[in-house]
Amino acid sequence: MSKPRVAIFDFACCEGCQLQIVNLEEEILDLIGAVDVVEWREAMSEQSEEYDIAIIEGSITRPEDEERIKDIRSKAKVLIAIGACATTGGLNKLKNNFDDLEEVKKCVYSDASTMPHLETAMTKAVDEVVTVDYKVHGCPIEKAEFGSIIRSLLLGKAPEIPDYPVCVECKKNENVCRWEYGEICLGPIIRAGCGAKCPTASYRCFGCRGYVDDPNVNAAVDVMDKYGLTVDQLKSKMVLFGSKQGPTL
Amino acid sequence: MSIKKLNKDVFKSFVDSMIASDQSVVGVKEKVQAKGNKFAFGPLENADQLRLDYDVTLIPPKKYMLPQTETLLTYEVKGESKQHVDEQKLILVGVHPYDMIAINQMDELFSQDEYDTHYMTRRNNITVIACDVVNASENIFASSMETAVVEKGFDILLTDLGKGKEYVAEAITEKGEALLATAVDATDADDKDIAKRSAIQEANKKDLDKHTLNCKPSELSSLLEQAYEHPVWEEKAKTCFSCGSCNTTCPTCYCFDVQDLVNWNLKDGQRERSWDGCLLKDFANVAGDHNFRKQKESRFRHRLYRKGKYVPTKIGGQVACVGCGRCVGACVPDIANPVAVYNRLLEDIKP
Ligand code: SF4
Ligand code: SF4
Ligand code: SF4
Ligand code: SF4
Ligand code: SF4
């Protein structure tokens, strides 16, 4: 069996997720041994029109991005979205909270805002434009999870992606719950897989991995009373990664 | 077997000599993250770290018999596999009676039907030093569950006779006796010491009661017999996040999930098991993606049936909630308290 050809593409993002792949260190040799990387702008100069697996980082934020991602989709057998930017729209979706994007552009770029390459549209997660086969969540992605998802694909198995909340990993790590400190931790409605990184570092979960399949947001609203907090305070915590978020599986 | 008395200094050097021995010693310590008011079991470096005046630990000591994640075996794809059994010797210091009773229950469960070598090997290599409760935690209800004192399972039981100045230590096994013998300056406990210990234990039987169950634990089974369709399940589960914190903090929850993790060569890998929880959405997923407990109210109900009815039938009627109160504090929407649910049922149903 010849090795599957893999191409890595980026859209609107900080490239932090690609950096996580580079950060695989010794494992990157294993990765390169198992697959044939044919295009990867961040790490090599070659380009290719022929690949089996397309790995997509970043959100779709311009009309020409939509054309490009559709073209990639038509060539790839399997398409994997990596990182919050690609899987949910991530931070880039913050701008979708504004009705008038011209205003947003002016505020960000002032006089330069009319330059053609700064054309912008409402942010879309990759699956709002094309079919996504697998999602690797997080901002940034977890190296270990990325590796195990790729290995599952190589074995022809569906990867195991947690559909339980961050609290599960948080409790296993024996953390004190951030709610006990009066913080609005989104852990109970956010998909696990990061090893509860933030609560383990004494910080609330702000939701970078996106919601679990069936988040009980109503419960979150109900519990605000118990903690003497308001629904607006809850909403303000959900806006960073949760703005106009679609399904995450 | 002997009952000794150890004053503060003797006790300290007893613990320090254990730490200096070739066995690993874990005990209850302050959780650094929490500015001193939360506790967790962890490796002891010196006797001063040990906090036998703790109220409750964040998660129970079961992690030493059933770790959060463990490797069961290594395998070759379509080939041989090799079992991994952890044979490390361990001394576990400071297990409260309710947690000891939970361990005793798990020992029964893991040694019946299919004997679990991984669990049992760890368990048999652990020497347990239990201790009576000095400070009640915020949500403890061990008095209601009849788990405030413990009579078996441990090797040594410690009772603090007052502010850590003096301990009574009773060994009930050969292992315990041998370990206690290393406290060379300990004296024999006299009748007065033993009377003091009894008074402390009798008080705990009444006072570890932040929530009061309005029936006997032995009546829960017949109560639940009649409660399957009661509205409480839906009422409570409405605000359930399916986060499983009521499982992951519980000393008697023992469900696990097994996964094969293949290495990069795609030729070999490890089989791992890790804690699972019956409140999690995918818990009851079976082949073909059917989930036979899809509704969160049926998962919520399942846990309280397990504690009060299903598990007791396997272990001679013992209720599988030991009243540690951890789930009560861990549940963000505050619906997990077993006493609140059972008492709500008792309003409508006579067991
Ligand atoms: S998901 Fe986060 S780390 Fe990854 S590219 Fe987007 S912003 Fe960067
Ligand atoms: S800190 Fe957050 S993730 Fe951890 S248990 Fe509490 S709510 Fe869940
Ligand atoms: S704890 Fe929450 S915010 Fe932090 S990495 Fe995990 S999912 Fe992202
Ligand atoms: S059900 Fe709750 S109170 Fe009972 S043993 Fe489990 S965690 Fe403790
Ligand atoms: S801890 Fe509470 S919210 Fe979480 S699964 Fe248990 S009952 Fe539901």
How large is the average pLDDT for residues B143-164? 96
Q: What is the pLDDT of residues B2-24, one digit of tens each?
A: 999 999 999 999 999 999 998 89
Q: Which residues pair with B268 in a beta bridge?
A: B76
pLDDT at A187 over 60: yes
Measured from the Cβ of residue A68, the count of other Cβ atoms closer than 10 Å reads 14
Measured from the Cβ of residue A53, the count of other Cβ atoms closer than 10 Å reads 23
How large is the average pLDDT for residues A58-71? 94
Whether B114 is covered by a domain: the verdict is yes
A238, A193: one domain: yes
Residue B286: pLDDT band with limits 50, 70, 90: low
Say if A225 is an interface residue toward chain B (CB within 8 Å): no
CB distance A199 to ligand 1 below 6 Å: no
Backbone angles phi, psi at B43, to 5 degrees: -65, 135
Say which residue the tokens 């030093």 belong to: B129
Residue B103: pLDDT band with limits 50, 70, 90: very high
How large is the average pLDDT for residues A208-227? 86
| DSSP state, residue A2 | P
Kindly report the protein residue whose alpha carbon is nearest to atom 6 of ligand 5: B246
Residue A16: pLDDT band with limits 50, 70, 90: very high
Kindly report the protein residue whose alpha carbon is nearest to atom 2 of ligand 1: A139
B contacts of A148 (beta carbons < 8 Å): 261
Pairing of strands B268-275, B69-76: antiparallel
How large is the average pLDDT for residues A130-136? 96
Interchain contact, B333 vs A34, CB within 8 Å? no
CA of A235 to the centre of ligand 4 (A): 32
pLDDT of residue A43: 79
Whether B293 is covered by a domain: the verdict is yes
pLDDT of residue A133: 95
A41, A98: one domain: yes
Q: Which residues pair with B28 in a beta bridge?
A: B41
Q: Three-state SS across B229-275?
A: CCCHHHHHHCCCCCCCHHHHCCCCCCCEEEEEEECCCCCEEEEEEEE
| DSSP state, residue B55 | -
Of B147, B179, B207, which marks where a domain is finished? B207
Whether A89 is covered by a domain: the verdict is yes
Residue A241: pLDDT band with limits 50, 70, 90: confident
Interchain contact, B243 vs A163, CB within 8 Å? no
B235, B184: one domain: no
**Residue A114 C-alpha from the chain's centroid:** 29
Say if A147 is an interface residue toward chain B (CB within 8 Å): yes
Whether A247 is covered by a domain: the verdict is no
Q: What is the pLDDT of residues A222-232, one digit of tens each?
A: 888 888 888 88
Say which residue the tokens 């509205």 belong to: B231
B66, B97: one domain: yes
Whether B170 is covered by a domain: the verdict is yes
pLDDT at A66 over 80: yes
CB B24 within 8 A of CB B188: no
Whether B174 is covered by a domain: the verdict is yes
B118, B165: one domain: yes
A contacts of B333 (beta carbons < 8 Å): 219, 222-223, 226
Using DSSP, state whether B168 is helix, strand or coil.
strand
A140, A198: one domain: no
B59, B115: one domain: yes
A150, A170: one domain: no
B254, B195: one domain: no
B contacts of A3 (beta carbons < 8 Å): none
A147, A226: one domain: no
Residue A96 or A128, more confident: A128
CB B281 within 8 A of CB A165: no
Whether B310 is covered by a domain: the verdict is yes
What proportion of chain A, given as a percentage, has pLDDT over 90?
53
Residue B35: pLDDT band with limits 50, 70, 90: low
A115, A191: one domain: no
A106, A188: one domain: no
End-to-end Cα separation, chain B, in angstroms: 42
Whether B256 is covered by a domain: the verdict is yes
Whether B281 is covered by a domain: the verdict is yes
Whether A179 is covered by a domain: the verdict is yes
Chain B residue with minimum CA distance to A171:
B248
pLDDT of residue B335: 95
Question: Chain-wide mean pLDDT for chain A?
Answer: 89
B48, B178: one domain: yes
What proportion of chain B, given as a percentage, has pLDDT over 90?
85
What proportion of chain B, given as a percentage, has pLDDT over 70?
96
Of A119, A154, A189, which marks where a domain is finished? A154
A217, A106: one domain: no
Tell me how many domains chain A contains: 2
How large is the average pLDDT for residues B97-111? 97
Candidate from B38, B265, B281 with C-beta closest to A163: B281
Of B164, B187, B207, which marks where a domain is finished? B207
A62, A93: one domain: yes
Q: Residue A31's domain is classified under what CATH number?
A: 3.40.50.700
Q: Which of A153, A157, A171 to mutate to test the interface with B (most CBs of B within 10 A)?
A: A171
pLDDT at B344 over 90: yes
How large is the average pLDDT for residues A73-81? 95
A114, A187: one domain: no
A85, A170: one domain: no
Whether A52 is covered by a domain: the verdict is yes
Whether B212 is covered by a domain: the verdict is no
Quote the radius of gyration of chain A (alpha carbons, Å): 19
Per residue in B48-74, is it b (16+ CB within 10 Å) or e — as a string?
eebbbebbbbbbbbbbbbbbbebebbe
B134, B43: one domain: yes
A149, A107: one domain: yes
Say if A77 is an interface residue toward chain B (CB within 8 Å): no
Pairing of strands A78-82, A134-136: parallel
Say if A160 is an interface residue toward chain B (CB within 8 Å): yes
| CA–CA–CA angle B215, B218, B219 (5° rounding) | 50
Residue B293: pLDDT band with limits 50, 70, 90: low
Chain B residue with minimum CA distance to A202:
B33
pLDDT at B52 over 80: yes
> Residue B19: which residues within 8 A CB-CB, separation 6 or more?
B25, B44, B45, B46, B47
> Residue B270: which residues within 8 A CB-CB, separation 6 or more?
B71, B73, B74, B75, B260, B261, B263
Interchain contact, B244 vs A222, CB within 8 Å? no
Interchain contact, A202 vs B33, CB within 8 Å? yes
Whether A220 is covered by a domain: the verdict is yes
How large is the average pLDDT for residues A30-50? 85
DSSP class per residue in A50-119: --SEEEEESBB-SHHHHHHHHHHHHH-SEEEEESHHHHT-GGGGGGGG-S-HHHHHHHHHGGGGGSGGG-
Tell me how many domains chain B contains: 2
| DSSP state, residue A211 | B
B87, B227: one domain: no
CA of A206 to the centre of ligand 3 (A): 6
The residue range of the domain holding B133 is 3-207
Pocket test for ligand 4, best of B138, B255, B315, B322 (most atoms within 8 A of CB): B322
pLDDT at B172 over 70: yes
Of A102, A124, A154, which marks where a domain is finished? A154
Amino acid residing at B81: S
pLDDT at B85 over 70: yes
How large is the average pLDDT for residues B185-197? 96
Whether A249 is covered by a domain: the verdict is no
pLDDT at B156 over 70: yes
pLDDT at A10 over 90: yes
B195, B232: one domain: no
The residue range of the domain holding A95 is 5-154
Quote the radius of gyration of chain B (alpha carbons, Å): 21
- Interhelix angle for A143-154 vs A26-34, to 10°? 20
Residue A111 or B4, more confident: B4
B178, B136: one domain: yes
Of A154, A177, A199, which marks where a domain is finished? A154
B177, B41: one domain: yes
CA of A165 to the centre of ligand 2 (A): 9
**Cα–Cα distance list, B255 to B122, B251, B258 (Å):** 17, 11, 10
pLDDT at A140 over 90: yes
B281, B156: one domain: no
Of B156, B185, B207, which marks where a domain is finished? B207
pLDDT of residue A111: 81
pLDDT at B290 over 60: no
Whether A104 is covered by a domain: the verdict is yes
pLDDT at B292 over 60: no
